[in-house]
Amino acid sequence: MVLRRLRTPLIVLITIFAISVLGLTLVPGPSGPDGALPRLSFFHAVYFFSYTATTIGFGEIPYAFSEQQRLWVTVCIYLSVIGWAYTLGTVFAMLQDKNFLNAVAVQRFARQVKRLREHFFLVCGYGETGRLICQALDEMGYRAVVIERDEAKVGDLELQSYSADMPALCADAGQPDTLLFAGLTSKYCRGVITLTNDDNTNLAVAIAARLLAPSLPALCRAEHAETVANMASFGTRHIINPFEKFGEYMALALHSPAAYHLLLWLTGLPGTTVTRHRDPPGGRWVLCGYGTFGRVMTGALENAGLPVTIIDRAPPADPAHIWVKGDGTGHEALQAAGIHDAVGIVAATGHDVNNLSIVVTARQMNPGLFTVLRQNQVANRALFDAFESDFTMVPSEIVSHECLAILTTPLLAPFLDAVRKSDEPWACGLLDDLTGRFGWDVPAVWSVTLNLAQAPSVYRLLMRGATRPSLDELLRAPVTDRPALACRPLLLMRDGRRPSLLPAGHETLQLGDQILFVGTEQARKELGLTLFNGHTLQYVLTGKDSPGGLVWEWLARRRAG
Q: Are strands 120-124 and 189-194 parallel, antiparallel or unpaired?
A: parallel
CA distances from 313 to 310, 326, 390 (A): 10, 5, 25
Q: Which residues contact 378 (CB under 8 A, 6 or more apart)?
A: 128, 132, 394, 396, 397
Distance CA 457, CA 248 (A): 42
Q: Which CATH number fits domain 281-389: 3.40.50.410, 3.40.50.720, 1.10.1060.10, 3.40.50.2020?
A: 3.40.50.720
Each domain of the chain, given as residue ranges in start order, spans: 2-95, 117-240, 281-389, 443-556
CA distances from 240 to 66, 212, 324 (A): 84, 21, 31
Q: Which residues contact 105 (CB under 8 A, 6 or more apart)?
A: 169, 170
Helix (H/G/I), strand (E/B), else coil: 483: coil
Question: Among 525, 518, 526, which Cα is nearest to 438's?
Answer: 518
- Alpha helices in 276-380, H assignment, sequence order: 292-303, 331-336, 352-365
- Alpha helices in 64-198, H assignment, sequence order: 67-95, 98-115, 128-139, 151-159, 176-181
Look up the CATH architecture of domain 2-95.
Answer: Orthogonal Bundle (1.10)
Burial 160-188 (b: 16+ CB within 10 A, else e): eeeeeebbbbbbbbbeeebbbbbbbebee
Question: Among 241, 261, 264, 192, which Cα is nearest to 399's?
Answer: 241
Q: Is 263 left (phi over 0), alpha (psi -120 to 50) or beta?
A: alpha
CATH 3.40.50.720 for domain 443-556: no
pLDDT tens for the chain, residues 1 to 561: 677 778 888 898 889 889 988 998 888 877 766 656 678 888 888 888 887 765 566 677 777 788 888 888 888 888 888 888 888 888 888 888 888 888 888 889 999 999 999 999 999 999 888 888 898 888 888 899 999 999 889 988 888 888 888 999 999 999 999 999 999 999 999 999 999 989 999 999 999 999 999 988 889 999 888 898 899 888 887 888 888 888 888 888 888 889 989 988 998 877 788 888 888 898 999 999 998 888 889 998 998 899 999 999 888 777 788 899 888 888 899 999 999 999 999 999 989 999 999 999 999 999 999 999 999 888 888 898 888 888 888 888 888 888 888 877 888 888 988 998 888 899 999 999 999 999 999 999 999 999 998 999 999 988 887 678 999 999 998 887 889 999 999 999 988 688 899 999 999 999 999 999 999 999 999 999 999 988 888 888 887 766 555 554 555 455 555
Enter the CATH code of domain 117-240: 3.40.50.720
Q: Can 117-240 and 443-556 be said to share one CATH topology?
A: no
